[in-house]
Amino acid sequence: MSDSVNFVLKIIVIGEPATGKTSLVKKYISGHFSQDYRASIGTNMYIKKVRLDSGEEAKIQLWDIAGQEKWIKMRHIYYRGAQGALVLGDLTREKSFDQIELFWREDLLKFCPDVPVILIANKNDLKVETPKEKVEAVGKKLEAISVIYTSAKTGDNVEQAFKTISEIVYERRIKFNPESQPSQS
Ligand code: G3D
Ligand code: MG
């Protein structure tokens, strides 16, 4: 049998509408930034193969969850089985970070407690209207493992964001998967 196990890592991408969730995922998947904005229809799922530091190959499943009001009631269905989360704020709209504290944090606690979270401060290429202290404070409240400033437009840190969450999820997966650990008894 082959040594190369195909791990599937389910990562959800959440945050207020228009923070750049779809753009970020698309930039990562295809390297292409699409200017024309269309509200996501519910949820899109993308798959990309990644080579992990361990040398193993994993399939990363990215769930781009629409933040729009009309989809909000259904979103928890897509949270199921999530192993990691990218939570996006838009640096040009401070309110999008307030909403993470007020809304998205609760959501994570309720539907997928214990999943590793990275706070993504997106639109770094535009005029930043959100103080760094605010971003850091929201990161702390979220207990985010890391805060990463990105631009889905220029691609700045996009690869790094997905790489970081993939490695963390993979590491945790090893730790928590009893089959990959020696028996305690
Ligand atoms: P969403 O999926 O979170 O709802 P989208 O957000 O990815 O649809 O992006 C919303 C708008 O922000 C789009 O602009 C998109 O082009 C823009 N955008 C997303 N990320 C970035 C970024 O990093 N930098 C810049 N400059 N723009 C970004 P429009 O104008 O089409 O509504
Ligand atoms: Mg979208």
Residue 154, number of CB atoms within 10 A of its CB = 12
Q: Where does 21-176 have alpha helices with state H? A: 21-30, 75-79, 94-99, 105-111, 132-141, 158-176
Q: Is 156 in the pocket of ligand 1 (CB under 6 A)?
A: no
Residue 22's identity, in one-letter code, is T
Token readout for 69 is 């009001």
- Report yes or no: 83 and 115 within 8 Å, Cβ to Cβ: yes
Q: What is the pTM of this model?
A: 0.89
Q: Ligand 2: distance of its center to the CA of 155 in Å?
A: 17
Name the residue ranges covered by the structural domains of the chain: 7-178
- Report yes or no: 81 and 10 within 8 Å, Cβ to Cβ: yes
* Domain 7-178 classification at class level: alpha beta
Q: Is 44 in the pocket of ligand 1 (CB under 6 A)?
A: no
The whole-number mean pLDDT for each consecutive block of 10 residues of the chain, a chain of 185 residues, reads: 66 94 92 54 78 90 75 78 96 98 94 95 97 98 97 97 96 66 43
170: helix, coil or strand? helix
Q: Ligand 2: distance of its center to the CA of 40 in Å?
A: 4
